[in-house]
Chain A
Amino acid sequence: MSGRGSETLRPTPANFAKNATKALADKALQEALSELSGGLAAARERAKAALPGFEALRRSGRDIKDHALANLDLYLEAFERNATAAGAQVHWAAHADDACKIIGKICHDADARIVAKGKSMVSEEIDLAAYLQTSGLKVVETDLGEYLVQLRDELPSHIIAPAIHLSPSAIEATFRARHRHLPADRALASPEALVSEARAVLRETFLAADVGITGANFLVAATGSTVLVTNEGNGDLTQSLPKVHIVIASIEKVVPTLSDAFALLRLLARSATGQDFATYTTLVTGPRRAGDPDGPDVCHIVLLDNGRAELLGGEFRPALRCIRCGACMNVCPVYGAVGGHPYGSVYPGPIGAVFTPVLAGLPAAASLPQASTFCGRCEEVCPVEIPLVRLMRQWREAALAQSEAWRTRGALRIWAFVAQRPRLYHRAARLAVAVLGAFGAKRGALRRLPLAAGWTRHRDVPAPQGHTFQQIWARRQRRGTP
């Protein structure tokens, strides 16, 4: 299995516009994306319609998260206390590197060779698999989508459907290229054949793995439990079969009680896939106890900050409410047009546009919050009411204040200078529409326009009518006719 360290080939957020143009020309990707609105988004709509009081549930979800975030220190301490009491070992990691090192050391101390890894966005965020592989471990993704993405040396393109950008034929090609030990003439065309091959290959990993690493959807302070939601069940094999289980989770995942976690789980399943509840919801409270039929001998929980604590005191705090359902990307017109990869981040779409600048820094990720029409559909579906548009606008303000943005800043200031001087503005407006109106009157539209080459590459610019409204109105007032 290849490592995931070929960073230079991966799209970066700084090249978003270029990445997007490439994605738009990718026929297979476009075909895969065309299923998005009819699939996950439609399933969410149906699930929402079937649950009276869904909107009230959203508000309570928001309130649960807000309360937990406002008292994060208390709930994290309680979680640590209760998880420790249940026999788990809790580790704190300030940055990505720290988390990788902690996990690497646990694997080393356990004399591990093979690591089975469940689906975890936080592990993607810290590029954990690449780190462990560099230190000589074999790391196998056990979530089917993540496994595919790993075989292809790509980033996940969606937070709950990592391989949503792949068609069955692309998956077949990947399996044929990477599962060389299997007969070349095997039948692989049907989705069932693909799933069954993946299952067979992955089963070997579960049995051979020394360490299982999973994420957590929620951390329950009152019980010290981690909650993991999956639809394949592979996550459960990952956390129960190997001798050592490591949970990697970010600090904002903590909620006060089990009932809080379950309120959020009801929102999560409906918002993510339109299910009433995910197929597998598993609570882990410490390692195997005497008398338990199965489970790991040791359980480690690594709690990662990686920039989150800094958001707590500021305007971006609502972004930490996110429960990673992916609903915002399923309805986003920009995500729907280009998919997740152009964002160059493990968190694509609207929440990625808000969160990636936190992780990668604003200069590197400045174009992501720009890449939105502000249509607001993301906010409408967000199960915890994150004001995504407002937060993207906030990043735009921060970006404009940076020195690199002098050109945009200058253009906006000149425009604003004119717009604050109505006499000057109206004079300039009259001139502009007279010229453009004269050029465009015959066709009714302009095929080319200086400074709008991007627009006119695909669309005509409708011609103005030749006079401004203010001009016509003033003439009318002078004539005294209505």
Chain B
Amino acid sequence: MTRGQSHRPRVGLFVTCLVDLMRPSVGLAAVRLLEAAGCEVGVPTAQTCCGQPAYNGGDRRSAAALAQATIAAFDGFDYVVAPSGSCAAMLKLHYPRLMAGDAQAQARARAFAERVHELVSFLVDVRGLKAVPGTFAGRVTYHDGCSGLRELGIKDEPRTLLAEMPGVELVEMRDGAACCGFGGLFSVKFPDISNAIAGKKTAAIAAAEPALVLSGELGCLLSIAGKLKREGSPIACRHLAEVLAGEMSAPPIAWPDERPRE
């Protein structure tokens, strides 16, 4: 329990569709970190996706419907926490905007938004977490996802927690605030441009000579890891939560799984 709270706050984990589909180990890591920060974690099964593909694709109606469903799914939790800056920003900043024109729904979305946090900033800013369960030794670089960085202002929190890990040597890449080129459906609609931007990012990463790239944004990591893999780079990629939680049994993103199959 931190900060002498008299009860364990109930946190609803917004898994995010990418973590659910592509890398559930990030979800497990998030649960472990939230529990280490004295929270009781629940995972509503009624959640699916935050609705960004529809919202940024111009389908406001579908996005609003998904927003309503997500808000309902997390009724009764003290906090809603997502291991992604971009999904958290969608829930926190854009849901209320989506409800413009319906005062009641907007008030509900605003009340919901108050409870929403991105995982790492929640751990640091709300729960005051200092000691993390994970241990890691090696040189790492951290990629700031654009939404987390610019929409939610998350910059110091991940670095604060990494600084608490004695074996971690954090080295910043050049032009770290630059986009990695993923951009959700952008990477599929404009694959050549997306790749060119990703190439600049992997070059900046390679120049920093880390063993491991960390980020709080799985979307960016899938693109960066896919690019590094194609380039034949030995640099590994993981979600920050995995390292902080010590949830490292799964291989890095896009690396072969040599564990025996279940």
The interface of chain A, by Cβ under 8 A from chain B, is 17, 20-21, 24, 37, 333-334, 336-338, 370-377, 379-380, 393, 395-401, 408-409, 412-413, 415-416, 419-420, 422, 425-426, 429, 432-433, 441-445, 452, 454-455, 457-465, 467-474, 482
B192 pairs with A398, CB closer than 8 A = no
Interface of A: prevailing SS: helix
CA distance A471 to B24 in the complex (A): 9
With CB as the reference atom, state the residue of chain A lying closest to B222.
A462
CA distance A54 to B42 in the complex (A): 44
A469 pairs with B20, CB closer than 8 A = yes
A412 pairs with B57, CB closer than 8 A = yes
B229 at the interface (CB under 8 A from A): yes
Q: When A338-B193, A470-B43, A474-B45 are in contact, do A454 and B54 touch as well, CB less than 8 Å? A: no
Interface of B: prevailing SS: helix
B146 at the interface (CB under 8 A from A): yes
Q: When A400-B58, A458-B191 are in contact, do A374 and B261 touch as well, CB less than 8 Å? A: no
B151 at the interface (CB under 8 A from A): yes
With CB as the reference atom, state the residue of chain B lying closest to A400.
B58
* Chain B contact residue count (CB 8 A cutoff): 74
Q: When A20-B193, A375-B179, A444-B251 are in contact, do A425 and B48 touch as well, CB less than 8 Å? A: yes
How many CB-defined contacts (below 8 Å) exist between A and B?
218
CA distance A374 to B254 in the complex (A): 25
Q: Which residues of A contact B56 (CB under 8 A)?
A: 374, 393, 396
Q: Which of B69, B73, B226 is most buried by chain A, counting CB atoms within 10 A of its CB? A: B226
CA distance A119 to B42 in the complex (A): 61
B190 pairs with A20, CB closer than 8 A = yes
With CB as the reference atom, state the residue of chain A lying closest to B202.
A459
- Residues of B160-208 whose CB lies within 8 A of A: 175, 177-179, 181-184, 186-198, 200
CA distance A444 to B254 in the complex (A): 4
B141 at the interface (CB under 8 A from A): no
Q: When A24-B193, A397-B60 are in contact, do A463 and B25 touch as well, CB less than 8 Å? A: no
With CB as the reference atom, state the residue of chain B lying closest to A418.
B48
19 A-B pairs with CB atoms under 8 Å apart are A333-B200, A374-B186, A377-B179, A397-B60, A398-B58, A422-B69, A442-B256, A445-B254, A455-B194, A459-B223, A459-B227, A463-B254, A463-B257, A464-B22, A465-B250, A467-B24, A470-B15, A470-B43, A471-B24
With both chains docked as a complex, state the minimum distance between the C-beta of A349 and any C-beta of chain B, in angstroms. 13
5 nearest A-B pairs in the assembled complex, by CB-CB distance? A454-B191, A373-B183, A416-B62, A396-B58, A400-B58
B135 at the interface (CB under 8 A from A): no
Q: When A372-B186, A469-B27 are in contact, do A462 and B66 touch as well, CB less than 8 Å? A: no
Q: Which residues of B contact A459 (CB under 8 A)?
A: 195, 198, 223, 226-227, 229-230
CA distance A337 to B183 in the complex (A): 14
B59 at the interface (CB under 8 A from A): yes
A462 pairs with B253, CB closer than 8 A = yes
A420 pairs with B28, CB closer than 8 A = no
Q: Which residues of A contact B151 (CB under 8 A)?
A: 376
B53 at the interface (CB under 8 A from A): yes
Per a CB cutoff under 8 Å, which of B45, B59, B188, B230 touches A452?
B188
Q: Which residues of B contact A462 (CB under 8 A)?
A: 22, 222, 225-226, 229, 253-254
B181 pairs with A333, CB closer than 8 A = yes
With CB as the reference atom, state the residue of chain A lying closest to B179.
A375
With CB as the reference atom, state the residue of chain B lying closest to A459.
B226
CA distance A193 to B229 in the complex (A): 47
